[in-house]
Homo-oligomer: A and B are copies of this chain.
Amino acid sequence: MRVGIEGVGTSHFGRQPGVDLVDLAFAAVDEAFRAAGGPRSVDAVWVGTVFGPAGVAQRVLRAMGLTGMPVLTVENACASGTTAFAEACEAVRSGRYGRVLALGIERMGDGAITPEPTDPEGRSGLALPALYAMAAARWLHEGRVTPEQLAAVSVKNHAHALHNPRAQYAGRYTVEEVQASRMIADPLTLLQCCPTSDGAAAAIVGPAAPGQVTVRSVALRSGAPWNHRSPHVWGHDVVRDTAVAAFAAAGVGPEDVDVAEVHDAFTIGEIVTTEALGLAGPGEGGKAAAAGRTALGGEQPVNPSGGLLSRGHPLGATGLAQLAEIVWQLRGEAGARQVDGARIGLVETMGGGVSVLDGNACVVAVLEAP
């Protein structure tokens, strides 16, 4: 069964201390139902969240009158929302359910992610900013990227977000301004790190119908723990393997992708990911960003929404917000950030556990315009 996307929606993304998860979820689901048309009911719901308290899925769904259908909550680190989407698609593909809601929700609250007490890497300082900083340092050392190319990703994504009214941050920065912002984890400065965000995003999927964006493929993989003898930095291999599977199932290649939303939790992440996906050749990811190839108006725009860096990164919601952006792009509904004539879109989310070296997860989806 070919899967179609009936509708997508998101809340505003940002620090929203006075806004309950219920309200964030309502904004996302309401928009998705309005876009979908038809009854405000589904046959099953998958909810992605990382830090949502036990039972939160049923609570937010009750508040919008969605009760009595199977509800499954999934956690897969930063890829939780995309995992909910992948499971929803699989349920439709296999004929298990007809119309399914995938919902991602997260309140990150005030703080960064604190390693929990049994996490040895976290206790030794290997939190996510440090891990991405190590990846950046290694690629700088190898001459595979330059400091200016790293900063160019931030410049690009903050500029994209100027056209996205739901983004948490946006701005016109120069490479020098990005580099001069406060150091977080050398060489990654503040403007090269995603912010702490609250948000929700949703998609309603079902058997494909005319006029819909359709799902050519969704691949979900987990990676082995990071092998420090690997020639690649953390995350590269699982993204590459997942993308190979997704492209094979979709019958298209990286060269066919017109627009992509990828996991740019830190600037180096977008560069590693574009190379791992095959959107850029080895050592070409940074050059592509600096040359404007991945900017709006470039050959193959990446993160037109502003990405995690600028739209914000409420973990469980991120994957479905990426999906929403690609659906809008493929429907020609992306307004001032529209990629003209986009026919094939790609969503990629990569998540490590809180103890990132234990293994990680990746979801890659390939979507096609109506």
Are A358 and B77 neighbours in the complex by a CB distance under 8 Å? no
- Give the distance in Å from the alpha carbon of A118 to the alpha carbon of B105 in the complex: 15
Copies in the complex: 2
* In the complex, chain A residues 74-130 whose Cβ is within 8 Å of any chain B Cβ: 74-77, 83, 87, 90, 94, 96, 116, 118-119
What is the 8 Å Cβ interface bit string for chain A, positions 223-252, against chain B (1 contact, 0 not)? 111000000000000000000000000000
A55, A352, A360 interface centre (most CB from chain B within 10 Å)? A55
A59 neighbours in B (Cβ, 8 Å): 118-119, 353, 355, 358
Are B76 and A75 neighbours in the complex by a CB distance under 8 Å? no
* Contact of A51 with B by CB under 8 A: yes
* Contact of A221 with B by CB under 8 A: yes
* Contact of A359 with B by CB under 8 A: yes
Are B87 and A55 neighbours in the complex by a CB distance under 8 Å? no
A73 neighbours in B (Cβ, 8 Å): 74-76
- Give the distance in Å from the alpha carbon of A75 to the alpha carbon of B221 in the complex: 20
What is the 8 Å Cβ interface bit string for chain A, positions 42-62, against chain B (1 contact, 0 not)? 000000001101111111011
A61 neighbours in B (Cβ, 8 Å): 358-359
Are A222 and B70 neighbours in the complex by a CB distance under 8 Å? yes
A355 neighbours in B (Cβ, 8 Å): 55, 58-59
Are B58 and A50 neighbours in the complex by a CB distance under 8 Å? no
Are A69 and B352 neighbours in the complex by a CB distance under 8 Å? no
- Give the distance in Å from the alpha carbon of A73 to the alpha carbon of B76 in the complex: 7
A72 neighbours in B (Cβ, 8 Å): 74, 76, 83, 87, 220
Q: Please, could you name 5 A-B residue pairs with CB atoms under 8 Å apart, sorted by A?
A: A50-B54, A54-B354, A59-B118, A72-B74, A74-B74
